[in-house]
Amino acid sequence: MSDNAQLEALVSRGYAHGFVTEIESDSLPPGLDEDTVRNISRIKNEPQFLTDWRLRAFRHWQTMREPEWAHVRPHPVDYQALSYYSAPKIKTDGPKSLADVDPKLLETYAKLGVPLHERARLAGVAVDAVFDSVSVATTFKDRLEKAGVIFCSFSDAVQKHPALLEKYLGTVVPQADNFYACLNSAVFSDGSFVYIPKGVRCPMELSTYFRINAANTGQFERTLIIADEGSHVSYLEGCTAPMRDENQLHAAVVELVAENDAQIKYSTVQNWYPGDENGIGGIYNFVTKRGECRGRNSRISWTQVETGSAITWKYPSCVLKGENSVGEFYSVALANNYQQADTGTKMIHIGPNTRSTIVSKGISAGHGQNTYRGLVKILPTAHGARNFTQCDSLLMGTQCGAHTFPYVEIKNSTATLEHEASTSRISEDQLFYCIQRGISAEDAVNMIVNGFCKSVFKELPMEFAVEAQNLLAVSLEGAVG
Amino acid sequence: MLKINNLHATVAGKKVLDGLTLDVPAGQVHAIMGPNGSGKSTLAYVLAGRPGYEVTAGSVSFKDQDLLTLAPEARAQAGVFLGFQYPVEIPGVNNVYLLKAAFNAARKHRGESEVDAFEFLELVRIKMRLMQMDEAFLSRGVNEGFSGGEKKRNEILQMLVLEPALAVLDETDSGLDIDALKIVAQGVNTLRSPERSMILVTHYQRLLDYIKPDQVHVLARGKIIRSGGSELALELEARGYDWLTQV
């Protein structure tokens, strides 16, 4: 077998998280109108301001159209055929502690390797787990509360911290920002909420695990993280879904706010079901993530490893308002089989001496199409702004594609921008060199791909970096063989 | 150790090896010389099992097993090492990482436990001193930005670490200045042992000033046309190949 054939065969073992949990759930019937929105709000016992907020979003959404500028080709989504709320059935209003959580759910998370119980303590990671539409458990609440950190489900935050919510909700990603964000604003069901008070360094990594289980549901979670003056937080997010033949919609919104001298590090390992090797099924991951560096010397850092989803459409961005604020984006995106990824970032420089770094590594294999799309915008007020962008693409096989669309808008002549880009492929020479040293083709490809991604992986928290490497290896199985 | 019998091989449909027979007993170092395009590198690749190098007839036995039925990585694990003429760059992959993976793959194959990073580093350091290589080499990408001489030294370092039963060095001497040549030769001589065989593919007699071969073979048009002792190399240096190939 030629090296090339080996390469093409090394990208396809199974999707390990594709199981379905048989669990009773309360779901709204399919369909979307104002009553659906009101129903969600009522189920969640929301204050009037939030119901009104949702309805405003819904009314505006009806005037919008799906964006068509991305280099992706989704099948049409029938928004009336989706159910907008699905929750595992529970005896009471919601799980008050882990003991109230359905053991089947805990089993699911155990299968996924999410540390809900004692393992959480060992791992030192506080986890909020979102199953379909609701948050099922948040670990480590007490310890975090002692530090003054609020880490809870979005629904809890609605009940307990409505003032904070009203102050910040939708201030980074406005309702009308885009089609999917607007839909999310109308029908979001749960998500995570984090508030780090002034001067507090969050004592542990915070983590959310998202899982879509029910069929024909969309998942619309919303995450809001506020880092008050001088505070620090590192937040991790992981995602999985069962294998189904239909495409499922995931349209999330994440908003980050960093005040003066605050730092937020947001890491994602996205492993939604990518569809089978013929491109049937898989998640449509249409996500809006944006952080605002409001205060001076603030820093927001996005790190993402995107291996899953049939289609990924996401651009975690930074709005650099505060003087000397810093935005970072480190990304590894893999498109294997028939996956399509259109991902990148926007760095909007508003304040003086703002700096941003973009490192994007795209891997294309099989028939995968991988697009980097980025915008660096320097406004007239951003004196001395700097950006460094590096976009590298790695191709495996002959059927895949890599595309790069870097947009630059500069309205201040004192800005400094650097852009580096490369496209390469794993060569037969590289592969044979490793094989001749006794390393299997599969290990060799993983080694070379990991080498390619190294500058991004080193930005991930340690345990996550290992998980990301393994995930990449699994996602590339069959790409060489 | 290595018995090649009547080996025929093609590359992209073109016949390159045409009935090559060669016997390299354990403990011996053989040099293979010959004009450009005579099939020297092809022989090296065929032994290593490089895809695209098709064996059409003949046999190769290595340590009494049929080498040609083994997958390329299995040949390497069984102790066949190829020192590449043009070592490829693999950006981002640490030199030491590749080396450790290779070392442990061979250990695993022998049913031995893998060594950890600390043990391995100790071992590599000793070998690096022998090759007069700076430790900074280890954390650089495999051959990334290496000079020609550094790449060749790196090949020999890998050989020293992996301690193969059969080493095939494909023009390891080309592109080396005289100091580097001596260091490479020292590395090779260190590994000479009764359990180990080596094949040196070379164009120049000067390598053989530092590594004394047990036998010298002339390869032309895909087969061995003359074999002799180290004095044959000197004769080739003086007279070229024409007097042999025109027979």
Per residue in A35-70, pLDDT tens? 999 999 998 899 999 999 999 999 999 999 998 888
**3 state SS of A413:** coil
Residue with tokens 């094989």: A435
Confidence at residue B247, expressed as pLDDT on a 0 to 100 scale: 53
User: How far apart are alpha carbons B159 and A54 in whole angstroms?
Assistant: 67
For A280, the token pair is 């049937």
Q: Which range has the worst mean pLDDT, A112-126, A301-315, B42-56, B233-247? A: A112-126
Q: Write out chain B residues lying below 8 Å of A443, CB-based.
A: 101, 105
pTM of this structure: 0.81
User: How far apart are alpha carbons A85 and A186 in whole angstroms?
Assistant: 12
Confidence at residue A3, expressed as pLDDT on a 0 to 100 scale: 46
Q: Write out chain A residues lying below 8 Å of B94, CB-based.
A: 451
Q: What is the CA radius of gyration of chain B?
A: 18
User: How far apart are alpha carbons B242 and B247 in whole angstroms?
Assistant: 9
In contact, A23 and A88? CB cutoff 8 Å:
yes
In contact, B167 and B159? CB cutoff 8 Å:
yes
Q: Write out chain B residues lying below 8 Å of A427, CB-based.
A: 88
Confidence at residue A123, expressed as pLDDT on a 0 to 100 scale: 45
Nearest to B76 among A437, A448, A453 (CB): A437
Q: Tell the burial category of A234 from Cβ atoms under 10 Å away from its Cβ (0-12, 13-18, 19+).
A: buried
Q: Write out chain B residues lying below 8 Å of A428, CB-based.
A: 51
Confidence at residue A180, expressed as pLDDT on a 0 to 100 scale: 94
Mean pLDDT, rounded, for B168-183: 88
Interface of A with B in 391-450 (CB under 8 A): 427-430, 432-441, 443, 447-448, 450
Q: Write out chain B residues lying below 8 Å of A425, CB-based.
A: none
User: How far apart are alpha carbons A191 and A307 in whole angstroms?
Assistant: 22
Q: How many CB atoms lie within 10 A of CB A33?
A: 11
Q: Which residue of B has its CA nearest to A437?
A: B102
Angstroms from A341 CA to nearest CA on chain B: 24
pLDDT surpasses 50 at B42: yes
Taken as a whole, chain A contains a residue count of: 481
Nearest to A451 among B87, B92, B162 (CB): B92
User: How far apart are alpha carbons B31 and B185 in whole angstroms?
Assistant: 13
Mean pLDDT, rounded, for B192-212: 91
User: How far apart are alpha carbons A62 and A295 in whole angstroms?
Assistant: 35
ipTM greater than 0.90, yes or no?
yes
- Among candidates A15, A18, A17, which has minimal Cα distance to A243? A18
Residue A254 Cα distances to A171, A174, A356, A459, B144, angstroms: 11, 11, 19, 20, 40
Q: Write out chain A residues lying below 8 Å of B76, CB-based.
A: 435-438
Given an 8 Å threshold on Cβ–Cβ distance, is B73 in contact with A439? yes
Angstroms from A357 CA to nearest CA on chain B: 19
Q: Write out chain A residues lying below 8 Å of B48, CB-based.
A: 436
Nearest to A451 among B87, B90, B162 (CB): B90
Size of interface A-B (CB pairs under 8 A): 80
Mean pLDDT, rounded, for B3-7: 96
Higher pLDDT, B204 or B86: B86
Confidence at residue A119, expressed as pLDDT on a 0 to 100 scale: 40
Nearest to B98 among A2, A441, A447 (CB): A447
Confidence at residue B87, expressed as pLDDT on a 0 to 100 scale: 95
Q: Which residue of B has its CA nearest to A394?
A: B91
For A192, the token pair is 């995570």
Angstroms from B61 CA to nearest CA on chain A: 18
Q: Which residue of A has its CA nearest to B98?
A: A434
Q: Tell the burial category of B16 from Cβ atoms under 10 Å away from its Cβ (0-12, 13-18, 19+).
A: buried
Q: Write out chain A residues lying below 8 Å of B88, CB-based.
A: 427, 429-430, 433
Confidence at residue A145, expressed as pLDDT on a 0 to 100 scale: 85
SS (H, E, C) A224-273: EEEECCCCEEEEEEEEECCCCCCEEEECCEEEEEECCCCEEEEEEEECCC
Confidence at residue A120, expressed as pLDDT on a 0 to 100 scale: 42
For B156, the token pair is 């020999």
The average confidence (pLDDT) of chain B is 92
In contact, B135 and B125? CB cutoff 8 Å:
yes
Q: Write out chain A residues lying below 8 Å of B51, CB-based.
A: 1-3, 6, 428, 432
Given an 8 Å threshold on Cβ–Cβ distance, is B102 in contact with A437? yes
Give φ, ψ of B193 to 5 degrees.
-160, 165
Q: Which residue of A has its CA nearest to B162?
A: A437
Angstroms from B80 CA to nearest CA on chain A: 8
Task: Tell me which residues of chain B have a C-beta less than 8 Å from any C-beta of chain A.
Answer: 48, 50-52, 72-73, 76-77, 81-82, 84, 87-94, 97-99, 101-102, 105-106, 109, 141-142, 158, 162
For chain A, which ranges sit under pLDDT 50? Answer: 1-13, 90-96, 117-124, 481
User: How far apart are alpha carbons A385 and B229 in whole angstroms?
Assistant: 71
Q: Are strands A416-425 and A326-335 parallel, antiparallel or unpaired?
A: unpaired
Given an 8 Å threshold on Cβ–Cβ distance, is B105 in contact with A438? yes
Q: Which residue of A has its CA nearest to B50?
A: A432
Angstroms from B237 CA to nearest CA on chain A: 32
Angstroms from B76 CA to nearest CA on chain A: 5
Taken as a whole, chain B contains a residue count of: 247
- Among candidates B165, B49, B58, B29, which has minimal Cα distance to B110? B165
Nearest to B102 among A427, A439, A453 (CB): A439
Q: Write out chain B residues lying below 8 Å of A438, CB-based.
A: 73, 76-77, 102, 105-106, 109, 162
Angstroms from A422 CA to nearest CA on chain B: 12
Q: Write out chain A residues lying below 8 Å of B52, CB-based.
A: 2
For A287, the token pair is 């996500």
Given an 8 Å threshold on Cβ–Cβ distance, is A438 in contact with B76? yes
- Among candidates A290, A435, A446, A455, which has minimal Cα distance to A365? A446
Given an 8 Å threshold on Cβ–Cβ distance, is B72 in contact with A432? yes
User: How far apart are alpha carbons A75 and A73 in whole angstroms?
Assistant: 7
Angstroms from B240 CA to nearest CA on chain A: 32
Helices A441-457/A462-475 angle, 10° precision: 140
Per-residue pLDDT of B134-161, as tens digits, reads 888 888 999 998 988 899 999 999 999 9
Name the amino acid, one letter, at A63.
T
Residue with tokens 């204050």: A47
Angstroms from A271 CA to nearest CA on chain B: 24
In contact, A46 and A162? CB cutoff 8 Å:
no
Q: Write out chain A residues lying below 8 Å of B92, CB-based.
A: 448, 450-455
For A218, the token pair is 């969309």
Residue with tokens 């068509």: A68
Confidence at residue A97, expressed as pLDDT on a 0 to 100 scale: 55
Confidence at residue A22, expressed as pLDDT on a 0 to 100 scale: 59
Mean pLDDT, rounded, for B79-86: 95
The verdict on A451 touching B (C-beta cutoff 8 Å) is yes
Q: How many CB atoms lie within 10 A of CB A422?
A: 11
